Structure 1
Amino acid sequence: LAGQIARAATIFRIDEVVVFDNKINSTDESRLTTANKHSGSHESGAASRESGAAFLIRILRYLETPQYLRKSLIAKHDSLRLV
Protein backbone atom coordinates (compact mmCIF):
# COMPACT_ATOMS: atom_id res chain seq x y z
CA LEU A 1 0.00 0.00 0.00
CA ALA A 2 2.77 2.47 0.87
CA GLY A 3 4.50 1.79 -2.43
CA GLN A 4 1.30 2.43 -4.36
CA ILE A 5 0.71 5.68 -2.48
CA ALA A 6 4.28 6.80 -3.16
CA ARG A 7 4.01 5.86 -6.83
CA ALA A 8 0.71 7.72 -7.28
CA ALA A 9 2.10 10.77 -5.48
CA THR A 10 5.08 10.78 -7.84
CA ILE A 11 3.02 10.33 -11.01
CA PHE A 12 0.53 13.07 -10.12
CA ARG A 13 3.23 15.38 -8.64
CA ILE A 14 1.71 15.52 -5.17
CA ASP A 15 3.82 17.55 -2.74
CA GLU A 16 2.32 16.40 0.54
CA VAL A 17 0.58 13.27 1.79
CA VAL A 18 -1.52 13.63 4.94
CA VAL A 19 -2.01 10.45 6.98
CA PHE A 20 -4.99 10.61 9.32
CA ASP A 21 -5.64 8.00 11.99
CA ASN A 22 -9.25 8.29 13.18
CA LYS A 23 -8.96 5.48 15.75
CA ILE A 24 -6.43 7.33 17.88
CA ASN A 25 -7.14 8.06 21.54
CA SER A 26 -5.64 10.73 23.79
CA THR A 27 -2.83 8.51 25.14
CA ASP A 28 -1.71 7.50 21.66
CA GLU A 29 -1.75 11.08 20.35
CA SER A 30 1.40 12.11 22.22
CA ARG A 31 3.19 8.97 21.04
CA LEU A 32 2.23 9.64 17.41
CA THR A 33 3.54 13.21 17.49
CA THR A 34 6.70 11.99 19.21
CA ALA A 35 7.16 9.34 16.51
CA ASN A 36 6.80 12.02 13.86
CA LYS A 37 9.38 14.29 15.49
CA HIS A 38 11.88 11.53 16.24
CA SER A 39 11.40 9.27 13.23
CA GLY A 40 15.02 8.17 13.36
CA SER A 41 15.14 7.19 17.02
CA HIS A 42 15.40 3.53 17.97
CA GLU A 43 12.93 2.47 20.64
CA SER A 44 12.81 -1.03 22.07
CA GLY A 45 9.58 -2.77 21.18
CA ALA A 46 8.32 0.22 19.21
CA ALA A 47 7.20 -1.92 16.30
CA SER A 48 4.55 -3.63 18.43
CA ARG A 49 3.25 -0.36 19.97
CA GLU A 50 3.37 1.72 16.79
CA SER A 51 0.02 2.66 15.26
CA GLY A 52 -0.76 1.92 11.63
CA ALA A 53 -0.59 5.62 10.75
CA ALA A 54 2.85 6.04 12.34
CA PHE A 55 4.08 2.92 10.53
CA LEU A 56 2.80 4.24 7.19
CA ILE A 57 4.48 7.60 7.84
CA ARG A 58 7.77 5.83 8.63
CA ILE A 59 7.62 3.79 5.40
CA LEU A 60 6.72 6.81 3.26
CA ARG A 61 9.64 8.79 4.73
CA TYR A 62 11.91 5.85 3.96
CA LEU A 63 10.66 5.68 0.36
CA GLU A 64 11.01 9.45 -0.06
CA THR A 65 14.71 9.36 0.85
CA PRO A 66 17.11 8.67 -2.05
CA GLN A 67 18.73 5.23 -1.88
CA TYR A 68 22.28 6.54 -1.51
CA LEU A 69 21.28 8.62 1.54
CA ARG A 70 19.14 6.09 3.42
CA LYS A 71 21.91 4.61 5.56
CA SER A 72 23.13 8.02 6.69
CA LEU A 73 19.76 9.77 7.18
CA ILE A 74 17.48 7.02 8.48
CA ALA A 75 18.47 5.19 11.64
CA LYS A 76 17.85 1.47 11.94
CA HIS A 77 14.42 0.67 13.30
CA ASP A 78 12.69 -2.64 14.01
CA SER A 79 9.71 -1.79 11.81
CA LEU A 80 11.98 -1.09 8.81
CA ARG A 81 13.96 -4.30 9.25
CA LEU A 82 12.35 -6.04 6.24
CA VAL A 83 11.98 -3.00 3.95
Structure 2
Amino acid sequence: MRAVAFFVVGVLLMALSGIEKISLYISLAKSTGNTIETLKNIIPPYIWNITNYTFIAGGILTLIGLFLFFYEKRR
Protein backbone atom coordinates (compact mmCIF):
# COMPACT_ATOMS: atom_id res chain seq x y z
CA MET A 1 0.00 0.00 0.00
CA ARG A 2 2.89 2.33 0.76
CA ALA A 3 4.26 1.78 -2.73
CA VAL A 4 1.00 2.85 -4.33
CA ALA A 5 0.93 5.99 -2.18
CA PHE A 6 4.44 6.98 -3.27
CA PHE A 7 3.57 6.29 -6.89
CA VAL A 8 0.32 8.28 -6.82
CA VAL A 9 1.89 11.25 -5.03
CA GLY A 10 4.77 11.22 -7.52
CA VAL A 11 2.46 11.19 -10.53
CA LEU A 12 0.35 13.97 -9.01
CA LEU A 13 3.45 16.11 -8.41
CA MET A 14 4.54 15.61 -12.00
CA ALA A 15 1.07 16.62 -13.20
CA LEU A 16 1.15 19.65 -10.90
CA SER A 17 4.44 20.69 -12.48
CA GLY A 18 2.84 20.65 -15.91
CA ILE A 19 -0.17 22.61 -14.69
CA GLU A 20 2.17 25.18 -13.12
CA LYS A 21 4.00 25.69 -16.41
CA ILE A 22 0.75 25.95 -18.34
CA SER A 23 -0.63 28.52 -15.90
CA LEU A 24 2.58 30.56 -16.14
CA TYR A 25 2.31 30.51 -19.92
CA ILE A 26 -1.38 31.42 -19.93
CA SER A 27 -0.80 34.35 -17.59
CA LEU A 28 1.83 35.80 -19.96
CA ALA A 29 0.60 34.48 -23.32
CA LYS A 30 -0.03 37.89 -24.85
CA SER A 31 3.48 39.15 -24.16
CA THR A 32 5.39 35.95 -24.99
CA GLY A 33 3.82 34.73 -28.18
CA ASN A 34 4.60 31.10 -28.96
CA THR A 35 8.22 30.82 -27.86
CA ILE A 36 9.32 29.18 -24.63
CA GLU A 37 12.57 31.16 -24.61
CA THR A 38 10.70 34.45 -24.34
CA LEU A 39 8.66 33.00 -21.50
CA LYS A 40 11.83 31.90 -19.68
CA ASN A 41 13.30 35.38 -20.12
CA ILE A 42 10.24 37.09 -18.63
CA ILE A 43 9.74 34.76 -15.65
CA PRO A 44 12.42 34.98 -12.92
CA PRO A 45 14.59 31.86 -12.64
CA TYR A 46 13.54 31.10 -9.06
CA ILE A 47 9.89 30.91 -10.14
CA TRP A 48 10.69 28.75 -13.17
CA ASN A 49 12.83 26.43 -11.01
CA ILE A 50 9.89 25.71 -8.70
CA THR A 51 8.18 23.85 -11.54
CA ASN A 52 11.38 21.95 -12.34
CA TYR A 53 11.89 20.94 -8.69
CA THR A 54 8.27 19.80 -8.48
CA PHE A 55 8.75 17.64 -11.56
CA ILE A 56 12.01 16.15 -10.27
CA ALA A 57 10.50 15.38 -6.85
CA GLY A 58 7.53 13.74 -8.56
CA GLY A 59 9.82 11.63 -10.72
CA ILE A 60 11.84 10.51 -7.71
CA LEU A 61 8.71 9.60 -5.73
CA THR A 62 7.31 7.72 -8.72
CA LEU A 63 10.50 5.70 -9.05
CA ILE A 64 10.53 4.98 -5.31
CA GLY A 65 6.93 3.81 -5.57
CA LEU A 66 7.74 1.50 -8.47
CA PHE A 67 10.79 0.14 -6.66
CA LEU A 68 8.78 -0.54 -3.49
CA PHE A 69 5.98 -2.14 -5.48
CA PHE A 70 8.25 -4.64 -7.18
CA TYR A 71 10.31 -5.18 -4.02
CA GLU A 72 7.22 -5.95 -1.92
CA LYS A 73 5.80 -8.14 -4.68
CA ARG A 74 9.03 -10.12 -4.78
CA ARG A 75 9.03 -10.75 -1.02
Report the TM-score, using the length of structure 2 for normalisation. 0.32
- State the structure with bigger RCO (CA 8 A, min sep 6), 1 or 2: 2
Q: Say which structure is richer in helix.
A: 2
Question: Which protein has the larger Cα radius of gyration, Structure 1 or Structure 2?
Answer: 2
